[in-house]
Each structure stands twice: as C-alpha cells, then as structure tokens.
Structure 1
Amino acid sequence: MTDTGGLPALTGGPQPDLDSGTTALWSALAGARVIDLAQPMRRGMPQSPNHPPFRMVIERRHGDLVRADGGSAANEVIITGGHVGTHVDALAHVSQDGLVHGGRPAGAAQSHEGFAELGIETFDPYVGRAVLLDVAAIHGTAVLPAGYEITPDDLEQAAGHTRIAPGDAVLIGTGWSRRWDEGAAFVGLADGVPGPGVAAARWLAERAPRVVGGETIAFEHLGAGRGHATLPVHRILLVEHGINIVETMNLAPLLDTGAREFLFVLNPLPIVGATGAPVRPLAVLP
C-alpha cells in the first residue's frame, strides 16, 4: 500500500456479510492509491487579489480554560474567502450583462446573505471518471511558461487517443502547482499565468464535462501585467455552459505518476448561498 499526499491507500477487502454489489465495489478499490490534490491552507498563501485573504488564529489556547479533571482544549477562528486555496466555483460566481447561468437575473437572486439559487450548496458531489490533459508534458517541460495560452491543438495533443465523455471531469496540467511556494510569481500579476484561452474553453465546453479544473488561481490564460481584468473563460464555462471550475489544485504529484485517467472525488463545503467553497479533491488510482 502507498501513502501519498498525506492520505493512506485504501485497505481492506470484501467482507462476507456484504451484498455482491458492495463487495464488487470494495474489491475494485482495495489497494487503490489516493492522491490529495488540495494545496495546504495557510496565512499568506498565494491567492487572487480579488478575494479576502485566508486567516487562521488560535482563539483559545491550552491552559486558557482548564477543566476540573485537568483537561484543556484549543480551538481556532478561520476567516477565508470562498475562492481562496483549492476551491470550486459555483455557477453564481460570474454573471454577464446582469445574467448568471440559465439567463437568470443575478440581482434578483443575490443578497448579503448569499444567492437564492446556483450557490455552491447546489453542487452535487462528484465521484466519477476524470481525464488529465498534461499540456506541459507535450511541450517537453515540467512547467509551462508564464502567460502561455493553451490552445485547442494543445488539448487535442494532450488527450491523444483518450476519449472525453460527457459528464467527465477534465483537468489541465500546466505544472504551475510546482511554483506554489514562489508567492507573487505564482499569482503572476507581473509575468502572467498559463491557462486555457477562449478557443480552448470552447473546445472544453463542446465536450460537455461536468467540471473542469487546473492548478492556477484563475482557470484562464492571464497575460503579463493583465491580472484579472477580464475572465472570458469563466464566462464561457460558468455562464454560458453551466460547467463548474476547480482552481488552485496541487496536480504536481498526480502529473508525476503519468496517470491520465482516474477516479475523481470532488465535494466542496456546502455553504448555502456562497459563490464558491474550499474543497479537498482526491484522485484514486489503481
């Protein structure tokens, strides 16, 4: 068994008191390798300047309150934006000309208490097939250059003979998670960030995936010095096609395995009315 990304491999085997369907499922998973695709959340981590920063403080320390039997507990307060760290974008996250996905008026659905529809709590947990398109690999590099625009041809080459079926999850490997500890360079305000351009977004949308995702803080090609001035890929995927986006994943350990198809588990926190929420995606490999 292999322990990867802080998560142990699945262990065990069929139990005699399980029905045949459950036994078959457990047999398929026994010995599987689980890879954690989430970046660790900490104060000062790279994030979009459009969102409030992550903060965590210990509110009560051991010894602040001691029970009669000598026991003590510590606890914390966590403050974070819904789009900080590894997270899923809800369909309520982006509007175009005042409308969110399905032509719904954004103003009628939103309030300070959240969105009455299309919030992240409406995202059904995903457990299914994922296809990883390693664009960095087809260019013979571990990390794509800053500001590189991914094209449909890149995606076609990365897919090769692997078929993308409607309802699959599609992840794009740029290698950018290898730069997570580089702070400002990871954010890319000065030099840009690699990601899909408009044509690549339409290529993805044509294949009708359930969800798409990548390693950068915005699932977009960001040119040098451009920042988040416009986000057309978000418009195409979220507003026009209703495809959720996963951002800031740590794909490096998965890319290193060479795996291109795997079981993908995605279940963001169900924060009612929120436009996004943290998630800890898992890749399950044979």
Structure 2
Amino acid sequence: MAHEPNNWGRFGLDDQRGTLNLLTPAVVLDALRSATTGEVLSLAMPIRGATSSPAPTTVPHLPGRPLPQHFMSVDGGDYAAGARPIGEGLRVADDALVVTHHGTTTHMDALCHMWSGDELYNGHPAARVRSYGATRCGIEHVGGVVARGVLFDVARHLGLDHLPADFRIPAELLQEIAEPGPGDVAVIRTGWPLVWQRSHEEYWSGQPGLSAEAGRWLAAHDVSVVASDNAAIGGLDARGLADEGLADDLHLILLHRHGIHLVEMLWLEELGERGRTEFVFVAAPLRIEGGTGSPITPLAIL
C-alpha cells in the first residue's frame, strides 16, 4: 500500500463508499444528459428456475458455486405459515428466492468483498467482517447508482464476437475506445457470455478480462464503478482463478485500494449492437446490511 496510489482517506477517515462519493447531485444531473432516445435496456443475466430443474444451468455461471434457487407456490400456500385462505375462488402465487451472487448471476461487489492484510478499504479493520455480516463497507452503503455509463466494447473494436480466453485488455486499447471522466461507470464488453451458448466447457476453460494496468488506468480516471460481462473483471485461467500476483490483482487494485465498486456478469449484447459509447447507467443493490455484494439489474438508458 505504501507504494501504490490509493484513495484511503480521500473521502474522509470513516468513508465506506469510495468513488461513489464522486456522484454528487451535479454529476448525476450532468450524466442524465447522456440519454437521447429514452430506450431502456436491461444489462442483467436472468435468474431462471429452481435447482431442482435444469433451467439454472442454461445461464452462464462459474462451476462449483451454488446456483440461484427460485421456488414458487401456486396453491395459496405460504412458506412461513402453511396454507392461508384469501377468499373463495381466489388463488395466489408466492415466490421464494435464494441467491448466492458471486459467479452465478449479475451482481455488485461491496468494498468488504476482498482485502489484504488486516484492513479493508480505507483502513477499516478486516476483523469487522464476520459470519453474521460486515459491519464496515457492506453493500448497504451503496444506495443507488445513477451515472454516465461509458461502454468499452473491446471485442467489437477488434472485429471479434468475443475476446480469446487468454486475452488481457491493455490500457492503451481502452484509451483507443473512450476516455472516462470522474464518476463515470466503465462498462467492459468482452463478449465472453456468447461462448456459453456454444460450449459450457469452453466457457469454463478461462475468461478474458482487464489487465492490471488497465485497472490502474481506470482508477486514475476516477471512475465510480467498473462493470464487465465476465465473471471477475480481470481474466481467469483454466482453473477459474486469477493468474496475476497479489500486487496486480484487479479486486485489490479497484475494491481495496481505490474504493471502486465492481459489477460482474453483465449481459451487454443488445447494448453493444446499439453502437452507443455513452448512456445513463442505473443500478441499485439490495439493501443487505453487512452484505459482501448483491444481485442487481443494471439498466442502460440510451
């Protein structure tokens, strides 16, 4: 940390929001000018079916992680108290949803998701992260994110449907596409989710992602969020692990050192087809107190 640029103390000694502090009312109002047509696109993967059916396996996910579970009662029953009468001839369908978000669905990482040594982002004690939740830097501090989104469609820029699994995006390639400003949400399209439709084994063989230098370049531009359609922002090897050392780990660079929240496993195909570099990005995580992250449905307003 002593030799790495970071945002510790920049927004106050008690700060738990990181670069989301850059989204002042004036910055949000300016971001809204990025919408010109009013078309709204969802950037989320679907949560599909219960694990008792094959439906969830049809959505891109990392192996070995519990899939989201969706249960529904269609007989007027109540999960907590059994059957409940609601009136003659009336029926109700109730839902129960269990989600483990990391690696299985579109989600946002909280600043307490990863750290090094004994300290979270901004020097908060890592001992505050317990099995009952994190009392520092949890996902509940995010609130709502409304910002200018900047799409870095790296695959399309290179004339590819998707990047190769071993491709690590350099900073100069991002610079060729766009120049983000303070508070912007940098959205990275690798096209890798398309591989799932062709071969699950190929999808699990590794993933393309940002290089460490690209992460530092985005941090130097004061982005508020880095979002991508891959599973880890950085690349993954054939074992599903990041292949850089700790000093270059993207989660440590962005979450831990700079307080930049991460959004992973986006669906960016419709957005990429529109050819828009700038748009309004809107997202809000569930208000899970002490959560290390949350599923979200990001929206792009064109």
Fold conserved between structures, TM > 0.5: yes
Determine helix, strand or coil for the equivalent of 1:73. coil
1:51 shift after superposition: 4.0
Which residue of 151, 167, 173 maps to 2:189? 173
Q: In the alignment, is the contact (CA less than 8 A) between 1:130 and 1:170 conserved in 2? A: yes
2:33 corresponds to 1:35:
no
1:62 shift after superposition: 2.4
Determine helix, strand or coil for the equivalent of 2:112. helix
1:68 shift after superposition: 3.8
1:185 shift after superposition: 4.2
| Separation (CA, whole Å) in 2 of partners of 1:39 and 1:33 | 19
Correspondence 1:1-286 to 2 at 5 A: 32-42=38-48, 43-44=56-57, 45-49=59-63, 51-58=65-72, 60-62=73-75, 65=83, 67-83=86-102, 84-107=104-127, 109-159=128-178, 163-182=179-198, 184-185=200-201, 187-188=203-204, 190=205, 192-223=206-237, 225-228=238-241, 232-285=249-302
1:181 shift after superposition: 3.6
Change (3 A) 1:122 1:50: farther
The one-letter amino acid paired with 2:194 is R
1:221 shift after superposition: 1.4
Change (3 A) 1:51 1:114: farther
1:97 shift after superposition: 1.8
1:262 shift after superposition: 0.6
The one-letter amino acid paired with 1:33 is E
The one-letter amino acid paired with 1:88 is M
In the comparison of the two structures, how many residue pairs are matched?
A: 253
The one-letter amino acid paired with 2:276 is A
1:139 shift after superposition: 1.2
Unaligned residue ranges in structure 1 (runs of 5+)? 1-24
| Separation (CA, whole Å) in 1 of partners of 2:226 and 2:137 | 17
| Separation (CA, whole Å) in 2 of partners of 1:28 and 1:187 | 34
Change (3 A) 1:186 1:247: farther
Say which is worse superposed, 74-83 or 165-174, in terms of deviation.
74-83
The one-letter amino acid paired with 1:104 is H
Q: In the alignment, is the contact (CA less than 8 A) between 2:32 and 2:147 conserved in 1? A: no
Cα root mean square deviation, aligned: 2.4
1:52 shift after superposition: 2.8
| Separation (CA, whole Å) in 1 of partners of 2:110 and 2:239 | 24
Q: In the alignment, is the contact (CA less than 8 A) between 1:39 and 1:85 conserved in 2? A: yes
Determine helix, strand or coil for the equivalent of 2:70. strand
The one-letter amino acid paired with 1:41 is I
Change (3 A) 1:187 1:77: farther
Q: Percent identity among equivalent residues?
A: 35
